[in-house]
Chain A
Amino acid sequence: MAEPEFDPYGTNMTGTTILAMVYQDGVMCVADTRTSTGTFVANRASDKIDYISDYIVGMRTGVSSVTQNSIREAAYEVEVHATELGRLPHVKTAVKILHDILYKDKLSGAFLVAGWDPYKGPQVFNVMLGGASVESKVVFAGSGSGFMMGYIDDHYREGMTFAEAR
């Protein structure tokens, strides 16, 4: 009989399901709240949606210490940039900044960045594990996202209202 895999010094991971989509009035972000260390649930009420700037959020998957830190660093750099710029940052700028933080040290994390800017409106991006970032209308990530894929494929349409998107 095989022993279930247990890693006593395991790093906190977010065994996650997260999703973001563009709908009629903006972007909608959804995340579960479980943080796990191996099979142990370390935090059952974690907030995986983090602030990057006033109109941009990031959702984390991967090793918690890495992702929390990366998001904070990204929020800091976006703020400095936006202050110098004197206006709201592009969502793609936040994505680029986050990407560079991950890619520089080849960190283990993947993010969904969702937000609104006055230049292109609501956008969602998937910043994937290797570093690639893709813009899309719906993005989902995390170990639980496979289950979402089928449902989304069937039910997503562009320009849904808030009620429909829920």
Chain B
Amino acid sequence: GTMYDLSATTFSPEGKIFQIEYAQKAIDNSETVVGVRCKDGILLGSDKLLFSKLLVPGTNRRIYNIDYSVGAVLAGKVPDGRALVSHCRKEATKYNYSFDIPIAGRILSERLGLFVNAHTLYGSVRPFGASVILASHCPEEGYQLHMVEPSGQAMGYFSCTAGKGKQVVKAELEKKAFRELTCREALVPLIKMLILSHE
């Protein structure tokens, strides 16, 4: 769109906010990440390219710990994602401090969604160019998988994916019933999917 895409504070006549869509584009051009809910846990995977021989292997991580019971993998721009991880960590530990219970994934993802959405409401900030896939466990609700997108949308998934190869991975995820597998059983098929998405 022409003049409707200059700022996140402008809707287009079709009801879109182009800046958010462009932020989503930043994620669609990044490395593939995937999260899968298995019978006994959650697997998070990321396709992380070492684009130079000068890089130390294992650097520039995309997978982070948020809390004792929550983990995350970043899709899109890693610096933007790390800001979100930092916010998640504060949110999760503060919640645990205030209420003496671990934060449920559902609640953390909704709060992160609010935070991300707040950055789409003003002209002085830009939307985040990253999605966060949150894996969590709490005694009352079990294992949960959520993804928060640049629009602030936060949804619960059985499996989700983002990045360059997401169409390929999505097709593979729909074929296989990961819900019935244990994490150990699901690991190899998941890695194969990520390799497949490379092509």
Contact = CB atoms under 8 A, between A and B. Distances in A.
Contact of B107 (A84, A90, A93): A84
A85 B100 contact: no
B101 A93 contact: yes
Contacts of B99: 81, 89-90, 93, 96-97
Contacts of B101: 90, 92-93
A143 to B, nearest CB: 29
A95 B100 CA distance: 9
A69 B192 CA distance: 60
Chain B contact surface mostly = loop
A115 B4 CA distance: 56
A92 B139 CA distance: 15
A100 B97 CA distance: 10
Interface in A41-92: 81, 84-87, 89-90, 92
A100 B107 contact: no
B62 to A, nearest CB: 29
A119 interface: yes
B199 interface: no
A90 B95 CA distance: 14
Interface string A87-128: 101101101110010000000000000000001000000000
A87 B140 contact: yes
Interface residues of A, number: 14
Contacts, number: 24
Q: Which of B99, B104, B140: most chain A CB closer than 10 A?
A: B99
Contacts of A119: 139-140
Contact of B100 (A84, A87, A93): A93
A83 to B, nearest CB: 11
B100 A96 contact: yes
A93 B97 CA distance: 10
B139 A97 contact: no
B52 interface: no
B59 interface: no
Contacts of A87: 140
Q: Which of A84, A87, A100: most chain B CB closer than 10 A?
A: A84
B98 interface: yes
Contacts of B140: 87, 119
B104 A96 contact: no
Nearest to A89: B99
B104 A85 contact: yes
A95 B98 CA distance: 10
Contacts of A97: 98-99
A92 B100 contact: yes
A80 B99 CA distance: 12
Contacts of A89: 99
Contacts of B104: 85
Interface in B97-122: 98-101, 104, 106-107
Interface of B: 98-101, 104, 106-107, 139-140
11 contacts: A85-B104, A89-B99, A90-B99, A90-B100, A92-B100, A93-B99, A95-B100, A96-B98, A96-B100, A100-B98, A119-B139
Given A97-B98, A119-B139, 4 more contacts: A81-B99, A93-B100, A93-B101, A96-B98
